Structure 1
Amino acid sequence: MLSAFTAGALFVSSLGSSLTGAPATGWRATPPPRQEMTIKVVTANGSGCPGKSAIIDVAPDNRAFTVSYSEFTAQVGPQAKPTDYRKNCQLMLNVLVPSGFTYAIAGADYRGFGHLEEGAYGSQTAFYYFQGWPQTGKSRTDFNGWFDDDWQHSDKIEIGALNYLPCGSLRNLNVNTELRVNAGTSDRKSTSFLTMDSSDGSLETTYHVAWQKC
């Protein structure tokens, strides 16, 4: 299930229709294949990932893949554009798995940084699902100022609730993320922001993969 925590002025709330029940005992149900899993970006849409600013990397052990962004910052303040309060990224991924295996997303680790003035607030929302399927996992993290720190939260799906792609099925994986910032009652001369940008890889979003033999 999704985890919730507090850190300073940060409050995290999480929800998800299939992310209920007891926590998972591990990220994987079957050992991953030795052959490499590859991921190709079919489309990348949204103000949070223009051009090719979202980068996908697959872990050498096939147990996870990461998404890193370089232009994903939502902000309000004197220098911000009216539309900067909300940034989103919708990735459609073609996940190519070795023959004889299928996979499910077992959860995700989200990382970012935020600066919110007193009275400002914001949120980070994320969900992922196979193309043509109902939404399978959703989480929302709420932030309240004063806040100035790195943030991280994770969601996990129990093994019995994993939604595996049927063997032989060709469906893309959709990964959607959104950041929002609201000035609230903060000083309008001040700037507040939430970001998932990462120049050194420290703010990557990690999606954990569970494997199953066909």
Structure 2
Amino acid sequence: MSFKISSFAVLCALALQVTAQTLSITSLGAIGTGCAPGTVKARVNSDESISLSFSDFKAETSASGSISDSRVNCQLTLGVQVPSGYQFAFDQTALNAAYSAGSGVKLSSSTLYYFQGQLSQSLGSCAVAGPASSGQTTLINKFSPVTWSPCGQNSVVNLNTDLRADNGDTKNSGYISVRNSTDASFIWRKC
């Protein structure tokens, strides 16, 4: 099942089976410099994950490049309905990516998530230092510490992924790009 997402678009009543319980996603929106309106699609998977497909999510740096090209983000906002007696958290994101980095270029991906109304947040990140390249790889952002949703309550969770390409003091070029999709997986517990 695929859906196009525009800035703060609302998609109702998506359901995901979880440990004999159902997690309902009541709204879904995307905004950011890496996900212009109409460039993201979302799919809820049966393996307790959400897949986001990007058509233009890329950070790049060069001798003549701008800072805005080297730092991009996409924030996903999910309204969720959690079954009574359960909490969920994100375990990790897996970015299907491609990258190329000249000597001295650092590429990074990070994902931060938090539940609105709570102070805790979780961060996962990974980095690649040049010289390096890969036409297709999976970059894993494993969250630590894990932040749990309120017990059995409706809530809103924000999931913000950013890509950065930094050439430091060099004039070398590099890029990092999400190819096809990013998968965000859930974990569950009784509360």
What TM-score, normalized to structure 2?
A: 0.75
Distance 2:64 2:30 in 1: 26
Q: What is the match of residue 179 of structure 2? A: 197
- The reply on whether 1:176 has 2:153 as its aligned counterpart is no
Matches within 5 A, 1:30-109: 31-33=19-21, 35=22, 37-38=24-25, 40-41=27-28, 43-61=29-47, 63-77=48-62, 80-97=65-82, 99-100=83-84, 102-109=86-93
Structure 1 residue 212: deviation in Å?
4.5
Residues 60/128 of structure 1: CA separation in 2 closer, same or farther (3 Å cut):
same
Distance 1:56 1:103 in 2: 22
Distance 1:113 1:183 in 2: 17
Distance 1:90 1:101 in 2: 28
The aligned amino acid for 2:178 is: M
Runs of 5+ consecutive residues of structure 1 not aligned to the other structure: 1-29, 199-203
Residues 141/147 of structure 1: CA separation in 2 closer, same or farther (3 Å cut):
same
Structure 1 residue 131: deviation in Å?
0.8
For the residue of structure 2 that corresponds to 1:196, the secondary structure is: strand
Q: How far does the alpha carbon of each residue in 1:10-68 deviate from its partner, in whole angstroms, 9 at most, with x for none? A: xxxxxxxxxxxxxxxxxxxx7242x5743531x4221011103222211125x222222
For the residue of structure 2 that corresponds to 1:115, the secondary structure is: strand
Structure 1 residue 109: deviation in Å?
3.0
Question: Once superposed, what is the RMSD of the aligned Cα atoms?
Answer: 2.7
Q: What is the match of residue 147 of structure 1? A: 132
Distance 1:130 1:180 in 2: 24
- Larger strand proportion of the pair: 2
Residues 60/175 of structure 1: CA separation in 2 closer, same or farther (3 Å cut):
same
Structure 1 residue 101: deviation in Å?
5.7
The aligned amino acid for 2:19 is: P
User: How many correspondences in the alignment?
Assistant: 171
Structure 1 residue 129: deviation in Å?
1.2
Equivalent residues of 1:127, 1:177 under 8 A apart: yes
Structure 1 residue 126: deviation in Å?
0.9
Q: How far does the alpha carbon of each residue in 1:68-93 deviate from its partner, in whole angstroms, 9 at most, with x for none? A: 22221000126744410100111211
Where in structure 1 do 4 or more consecutive aligned residues deviate above 6 Å?
none
Runs of 5+ consecutive residues of structure 2 not aligned to the other structure: 1-17
